[in-house]
Amino acid sequence: MTDLFMMDAETAPQVKGQALKLFVRNRAAVLGLIMLIGIFVMTFVVPIWYVKDPGDLIARPHLKPGSPDAPLLGTDNLGRDLLAVIVYGGRTTLSVATGAAALIVFVGVSIGAAAGYYGRWVDAALMRFTEFFQVLPGLLFAIVVVALFEPSFWTITFAIGSVSWPGIARLTRAEFLRLKNLEFVKAARAIGSSDFRIITRVILPNALPTLIVSSTLIMGSAILFEAGLAFLGLADVNNPSWGLAIGRGREAFTINWWAVTFPGLAIFFTVLGLSLVGDGLQDAFNPKLRGR
């Protein structure tokens, strides 16, 4: 697959078209994409006409979905509209996850690229550093960071980002090790390109398919991380989020199953959608691995 991506500019679009075709033909991947579009519409389009304050106590607590004068998904323990909590909670969850995923990819790719490209002592030092973060128990370290400082958008994003980058760093390093001695890189060096240019403009684009697939999966794991932290109460309590809603719902889960179930379904479909799309991209970029 990457051999194909190393073709000159004229044939490249054709190859990308092929990848797109493979992706569209993959029913699971399309299903995943539909889930993601659904989640996106729910979080960013629905609020345009479903104008609610998710913190408002609009009715009696524990109103079952479907019972008279209950909102569509019922009310939670305090009488908040559960649909509003889910619709507006998506913003927090998705923005933290996007921020964390961006941080993870940036740190991971930078460290992996430097280690793989420069090799020798740079590689040795950076890999020791990576190993250290790899043995840290991720969720626990994130809990410590958020608990020591106040839970806010930035501390949570930083906490998730700081523990999850080793995987992508190793992946980038492996890609760089594979690519750096190939002809086209030597050619770039021969015409006097700077190291920075070779790393960012020559090698990185060839590692992109692998990195895109992996970023999709990272996004999913960042959502699970955020939800876990929020469930434990490590979230900004002024902003609703799916994990926080489950954490609150558990206090009365025996009589109010819907307050736990529906926010969980939102997390479930988002992560499932991301996994399906990630797998689909993997198959599209690298048809040889299909079904593995």
Partner 1 sequence: MKAIAARIGQALGLILAVIVLNFLLIQIAPGDAATAIAGDQSASDPEVIAEIRAQYGLDKPLIVQLGTYIGQVLQGDLGQSIWFDEPVSGLLLDRVGPTVLLSAAALTFAVVFGVTFGTIAARRPDSLLSHAVTVLALVGYAMPAFWTGLLLLILVGVNFSFFPVSGMHDISFNGNWWESWLDAGQHLILPALTLGIIYLAQYSRLSRASMLEVLESDYIRTARAKGLSERSVIFKHGLRNGVLPVVTILGLQFGAVLSGAILVESVFAWPGLGRLAFEAVTRRDTPVLLGVLLLVSVSVILANLVTDLVYRIIDPRIRVSGARND
Q: Where along the sequence are the contacts to partner 1 (CB under 8 A)? A: 128, 131-132, 135-141, 143-144, 147-149, 170, 174, 220, 224, 227-228, 231-234, 243, 246, 249-250, 253-254, 257, 260-261, 264, 267-269, 271-272, 275-276, 279, 291-292
Determine the residue type at 100: A
Question: In the complex, what is the shortest distance from the CB of residue 250 to partner 1, in angstroms, rounded to a whole number?
Answer: 6
Q: How far is the CB of 224 from partner 1 (least distance, A)?
A: 5
Which is it for the CA torsion 112, 116, 118, 121, positive or negative? positive
User: Between residues 174 and 198, which has the closer beta carbon with respect to partner 1?
Assistant: 174
Smallest gap from residue 44 Cβ to partner 1 (A): 21
- Of 61 and 264, which has the nearer Cβ to partner 1? 264
Whole-angstrom distance, CA of residue 53 vs CA of residue 281: 38
**Is 193 or 261 the residue whose CB approaches partner 1 more closely?**
261
- Beta strands (DSSP E) in the chain are none
Strand partners, 75: 81
The minimum distance between CB 255 and partner 1, in angstroms, equals: 10
Nearer to partner 1, 118 or 253 (CB): 253
Cβ at position 65, least distance to partner 1 in Å: 15
Amino acid at 64: K
53-83 residues labelled b (16+ CB within 10 A) or e (exposed): ebeeebbebbbeeeeeebbebbbbbeebbbb
Amino acid at 124: A
